[in-house]
Amino acid sequence: MSAIRADSTLPNRYTWREHAACRDLDTNLFFPPGDGPGSAERIEQAKAVCAGCSVRSECLSFALSTRQDSGVWGGMTEEERRRHRRRLARERRKAS
Ligand code: SF4
């Protein structure tokens, strides 16, 4: 009987997470509490990690498609993602 490999039976939709530069970091860095003291600094630190992440594009696509409404994903804050989504929607309307 052949062994069934777990990774061959699971959808690979989220395998990009295995390559995340933030994988072993404190998630609080990417989810600063509101606009309180230190938030801006933490956001900049999180963005610096994202800047060197090999799966940044996949991460941002995931956050946009699943409408993640908090935290830094793919190098963008929630407000930056909202603006990005609006810009993409405008471009789609123009193209149609
Ligand atoms: S882009 Fe940023 S938040 Fe996304 S996986 Fe990479 S380091 Fe983590």
69-95: pLDDT as tens digits:
999 999 999 999 999 999 999 999 999
Q: How far is CA 33 from CA 68, 71, 94, in A?
A: 15, 9, 37
Distance CA 13, CA 66 (A): 13
Closest residue CA from atom 5 of ligand 1:
20
* pTM of the shown model: 0.82
Ligand 1 centroid–CA 52 distance in Å is 9
Q: Is 63 in the pocket of ligand 1 (CB under 6 A)?
A: no
* Average pLDDT score over the chain: 87
